[in-house]
């Protein structure tokens, strides 16, 4: 019987599976299944329909909230405003989280984004330790308005909003509070748990702003963290991404929790920050626009000619993994 590690499939295994899927040459399919792309896009009349599907498996607490926002992020990174949501809710036979709580969180997150819930499926499933919420978000943009992960161009600056490991910080504080014991003060732990809401895991606002500012590519780094997200952008665009690792912002709460739990903050699930490529002469303007919105942003690298992949400023290749560091806590 085969055994699989917790987390995403390896990039190599997934790429091999994706090539076998039907419909890849459909004339209506604008963006199909590919490594690094956050969502799919289909031509519908004068519009492009953007569709994203992602599960929430690491976080039992507030799973419905996570599911709405991470799927909305994936739609927004393609330049489309999220509009419609469906959820498949799988509940364990015993849980400290109620079905009502999951539904309430889905409803609250959708109201916040102005998204309509179309329906879905709910059941109690044997063998689960925690609730699993699988979401599908849809949005539309005018024909020709799509922004692809593969759109980065040579000479672009690479911009990161907020900081690395926002989602992971909330998960670690909410799921591992007892394990951390008295090694972290209650106030620090409470602030970290609030990262779900402040700075928050949604990137819809900054994605819409970056779209208007002329972003060439955007990516919502999730499992594998900021470094894997950058590598996925590089692979999708067939470009060389050079990143100044020291320039990637990591706030104190994230750094402390990661240190205590033996996790790399740049390789841990990172919803809440947005990776953007944009013409270098537009990067500072984008940062000013975001700052006026109360969103910090840093230039962390640039796009160059050469071997596709992720490299540091000394020219050394940065290895990444599809398996998230946070899997160490749940494996």
Q: Where are the domains of the chain?
A: 38-142, 149-329
Residue 57 is predicted with a pLDDT of 77
The answer to whether 73 touches 207, Cβ cutoff 8 Å, is: yes
* Helix and strand element counts for the chain (H, E): 10, 12
Residue 117, pLDDT score:
97
Q: What is the distance between the alpha carbons of residues 199 and 196, in angstroms, rounded to a whole number?
A: 7
Can you tell me the distance from the alpha carbon of 249 to that of 165, in angstroms, rounded to the nearest whole number? 10
Task: Tell me the whole-structure pTM to 2 decimals.
Answer: 0.89
CA 307, CA 317: separation in Å to the nearest integer? 10
322 — pLDDT class (breaks 50, 70, 90): confident
Mean pLDDT of the 275-281 span: 98
Average of per-residue pLDDT values in the chain: 90
Cα separation, 45 vs 60, in Å, equals 40
Superfamily of chain region 149-329 = PurM-like C-terminal domain (3.90.650.10)
Find the mean pLDDT for residues 275-297.
97
- Using a pLDDT cut of 70, give the percent of the chain over it: 94
6-15, 22-31, 121-130, 258-267: the lowest-pLDDT one: 6-15
Average pLDDT on 179-192 reads: 83
pLDDT in tens, 198-242: 999 999 999 999 999 999 999 999 889 999 999 999 999 999 999
Handedness of CA 276, 278, 282, 283 (dihedral sign): positive
Neighbours of 148 (CB within 10 A): 24
**Residue that wins the pLDDT comparison between 268 and 175:** 268
Q: Is the peptide bond before 199 cis (omega within 30 degrees of 0)?
A: yes
Confidence of residue 178 (pLDDT cuts 50, 70, 90): confident
Q: Which two tokens stand for residue 315?
A: 């020219």
Match 């959708």 to its residue by tokens: 110
pLDDT digits (tens, 9 = 90+) for 89-135: 999 999 889 999 999 999 999 999 999 999 999 999 999 988 999 99
What is the per-residue pLDDT for 59? Answer: 63
CB-count burial class (<10 Å; 0-12, 13-18, 19+) for 4: exposed
Beta bridge partners of 277: 158, 217
**Paired tokens of 313:** 């400023």
CA distance 190 to 188: 5
Q: Which residue has the higher pLDDT, 150 or 3?
A: 150
**pLDDT band at 182; cut points 50, 70, 90:** confident
Least-confidence region, from 29-33, 169-173, 178-182, 271-275: 178-182
CATH classification of 38-142, choosing from 3.40.190.10, 3.40.50.2300, 3.30.1330.10, 3.90.25.10? 3.30.1330.10
């Amino acid at each position: 019987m085969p055994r699989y590690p917790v987390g995403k499939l390896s990039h190599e295994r997934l790429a091999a599976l994706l090539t076998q899927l039907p419909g890849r040459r459909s004339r209506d399919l604008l963006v199909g299944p590919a490594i690094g792309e956050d969502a799919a896009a289909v031509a519908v009349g004068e519009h492009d329909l953007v569709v994203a599907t992602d599960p929430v498996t690491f976080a039992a607490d507030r799973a419905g909230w996570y599911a709405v926002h991470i799927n909305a992020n994936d739609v927004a990174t393609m330049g489309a405003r999220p509009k419609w949501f469906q959820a498949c809710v799988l509940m364990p036979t015993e849980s400290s989280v109620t079905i009502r709580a999951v539904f309430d969180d889905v409803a609250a997150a959708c109201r916040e984004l102005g998204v309509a819930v179309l329906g879905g499926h709910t059941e109690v499933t044997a063998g689960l330790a925690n609730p699993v919420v699988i979401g599908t978000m849809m949005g539309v943009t005018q024909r020709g308005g799509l922004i692809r992960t593969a759109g980065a161009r040579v000479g672009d600056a690479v911009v990161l909003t907020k900081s690395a490991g926002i989602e992971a910080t909330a998960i670690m504080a909410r799921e591992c509070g007892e394990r951390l014991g008295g090694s972290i003060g209650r106030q620090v732990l409470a602030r970290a748990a609030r990262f779900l809401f402040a700075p928050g895991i949604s990137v819809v606002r900054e994605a819409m702003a970056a779209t208007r500012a002329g972003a060439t590519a955007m990516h919502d780094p999730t499992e594998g963290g900021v470094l894997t997200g950058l590598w996925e952008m590089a692979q999708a665009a067939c470009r060389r991404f050079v990143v100044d690792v020291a320039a990637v912002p990591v706030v104190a709460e994230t750094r402390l929790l990661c240190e205590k739990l033996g996790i790399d903050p740049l390789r841990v699930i990172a919803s809440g920050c947005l990776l953007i490529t944009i013409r270098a002469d537009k990067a500072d303007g984008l940062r000013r626009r975001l700052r006026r919105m109360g969103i910090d942003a840093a230039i962390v690298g640039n796009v160059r000619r050469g071997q596709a992949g992720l490299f540091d400023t000394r020219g050394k290749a940065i290895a990444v993994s599809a398996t998230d560091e946070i899997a160490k806590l749940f494996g």
